[in-house]
């Protein structure tokens, strides 16, 4: 069986990529789906649209390559994390739309929990901060606001899952209600020291234990696809939240290895080994995907709006027709001419964790052109990553030798060069930038013997593109100070 199928379920689209044994892309397909905004700060998805878009992409990818299910050794699933789906165990129907990780509706509840002194216990057990970003308060909101949901949950009739659980439940005809350690570690309900759902945390958030999926390792066969004829019999053998999948896809397997994914958001992860460390600088500690079937950890800085700022220029301001046009527009001017863009559309993530921050565009003049705004938008991505890396350096006490990068916006040479300039270290981009999907493929392939070990995978890796720092340190400092001033003005705006 010469292929591994990766199901990459993202925030704005579902993709399927078929990888060969050498790690090259044999075929791929992608389907976008609707973003639902019922109220300011609320973000939802249609759970069935997530499912159908993912299955359609998988079937299409196999069709493009002329591949049958029996030609696929296994499939790996990677997914948008923290997004919450609650469904009826008997009917399989969700009781409410999927509440997306970007959603801020539970900000007041999180403030109450912080005020009650719960954060110390939560950080000690989960490595996370109390924030609407994570799953627990979203689950609680559904139970409290959907008619009859609380009682049905108490009666054991409802199931909770992040998107990986929802996909696997449906692909296996409702026989497998599972998640992996990396997705579990994003819920505020999983103790990443003991590796179990935590009864005290479930009680704190008012969530019945009967709703929770079984937790499995990221690289482990869990069941075969049974519901879709065109995929029937393919073994599901890899699961990881998108950022942990990307960390593994970049083969960041040892302490000190770090990567940043430029997707809808940006997520900087550094592998820190097999000992839990609680962050002192408002980063989070999370579980990394492991083929050793042991708990391994990473520090993470989560940026809510990364590549999504380009979509905003395209869809809201209509400055560009396609996202790929943004680099040309930004390159039409030599610099941003003092324009600074703080894309805090859904608050600010690490290291600020301000759910009340608001998006801001400042420094506009009579001579400001669309190119200046486009350049400021791209630069905002790099500035946010630099803020997170500063916090990470403070945490570990050591500088990383290089930053490995991936994701859609990583193909932008201008952005990657500016990122290297700000960080003062090389930025390294692999030939295959779809490392999130590749990581899920690696996890599945290693579980079924498609690849023997990570060393074999390394032997297939193609040469990378390196971006070396070029900007004078004084210029870097001046630009970062201007950015910091803008961030301070944006903070707390919508309180």
- Token readout for 356 is 């009340």
Peptide bond into 161 cis (omega under 30): no
Question: CB burial class (10 A; 0-12, 13-18, 19+) of residue 363?
Answer: middle
Who's near 25: CB < 8 A, 6+ residues apart?
A: 17, 18, 19, 432, 434
Which parts are annotated binding residues for ATP?
A: 11-13, 264, 307, 311, 408
Q: In whole angstroms, what is the distance from residue 392 CA to residue 397 CA?
A: 8
Which parts are annotated binding residues for ADP?
A: 11, 15, 264, 307, 408, 412
- Token readout for 160 is 């909770």
CB 204 within 8 A of CB 110: no
Nearest one of 241, 280, 243 to 123, comparing CA atoms: 280
CA 232 to chain centre: 28
Which parts are annotated binding residues?
A: 11-13, 15, 81-82, 133, 242-243, 264, 307, 311, 408, 412
Which parts are annotated binding residues for glycerol?
A: 81-82, 133, 242-243
Which parts are annotated binding residues for sn-glycerol 3-phosphate?
A: 11, 81-82, 133, 242
CB 45 within 8 A of CB 82: no
The number of helix segments (H) and strand segments (E) in the chain equals 16, 23
Q: In whole angstroms, what is the distance from residue 189 CA to residue 193 CA?
A: 12
Question: Given the DSSP bridges, would you call strands 190-191 and 196-197 parallel, antiparallel or unpaired?
Answer: antiparallel
Beta-ladder partners of 79 = 9, 241
């Amino acid at each position: 069986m010469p292929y591994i199928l990766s199901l990459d379920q993202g925030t704005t689209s579902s993709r399927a990529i078929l990888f060969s044994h050498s790690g090259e892309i044999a075929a791929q397909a992608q389907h976008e789906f609707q973003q639902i905004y019922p109220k300011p700060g609320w973000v939802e998805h249609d759970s069935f649209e997530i499912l159908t878009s993912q299955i359609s992409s998988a079937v299409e990818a196999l069709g493009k390559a002329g591949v049958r299910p029996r030609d696929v050794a296994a499939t790996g699933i990677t997914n948008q994390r923290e997004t919450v789906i609650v469904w009826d165990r008997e009917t399989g129907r969700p009781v409410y739309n999927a509440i997306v990780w970007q959603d801020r509706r539970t900000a007041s509840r999180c403030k109450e929990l912080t005020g009650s002194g719960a954060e110390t216990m939560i950080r000690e057990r989960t490595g996370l901060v109390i924030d609407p970003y994570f799953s627990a308060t979203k689950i609680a909101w559904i139970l409290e606001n959907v008619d009859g949901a609380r009682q049905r949950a108490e009666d054991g009739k409802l199931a909770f899952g992040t998107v990986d659980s929802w996909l696997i439940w449906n692909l296996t005809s409702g026989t497998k209600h599972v998640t992996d350690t990396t997705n579990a570690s994003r819920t505020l309900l999983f103790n990443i020291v003991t590796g179990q759902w935590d009864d005290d945390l479930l009680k704190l958030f008012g969530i019945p234990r009967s709703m929770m999926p079984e937790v499995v390792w990221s690289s482990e066969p869990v069941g075969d696809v049974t519901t879709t004829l065109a995929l029937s019999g393919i073994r599901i053998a890899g699961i990881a939240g998108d950022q942990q999948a990307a960390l593994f896809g970049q083969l960041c397997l040892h302490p000190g290895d770090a990567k940043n994914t430029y997707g809808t958001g940006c997520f900087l992860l550094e592998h820190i080994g097999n000992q839990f460390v609680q962050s002192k600088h408002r980063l989070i500690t999370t579980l990394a995907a492991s083929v050793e079937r042991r708990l391994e950890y990473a520090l993470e800085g989560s940026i809510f709006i990364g590549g999504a700022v380009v979509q905003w220029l395209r869809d809201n301001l209509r400055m560009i027709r396609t996202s790929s046009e943004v680099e040309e527009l930004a390159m039409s001017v030599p610099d941003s001419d003092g324009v600074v863009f703080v894309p805090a559309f859904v608050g600010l993530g690490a290291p600020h964790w301000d759910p009340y921050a608001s998006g801001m565009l400042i420094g506009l003049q009579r001579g400001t052109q669309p190119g200046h705004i486009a350049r400021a938008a791209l630069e905002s991505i790099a500035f946010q990553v630099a803020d997170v890396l500063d916090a990470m350096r403070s945490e570990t006490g050591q500088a990383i030798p290089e930053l490995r990068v991936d994701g859609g916006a990583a193909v932008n040479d201008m952005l990657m060069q500016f990122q290297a300039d700000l960080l003062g270290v090389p930025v390294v981009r692999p030939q295959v930038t779809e490392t999130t999907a590749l990581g899920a493929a690696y996890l599945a392939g290693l579980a079924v013997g498609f690849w023997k070990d990570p060393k074999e995978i390394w032997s297939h890796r193609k040469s990378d593109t390196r971006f070396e720092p070029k900007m004078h340190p004084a210029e870097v400092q001046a630009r970062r100070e201007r950015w910091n001033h803008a961030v301070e003005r944006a903070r707390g705006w919508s309180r």
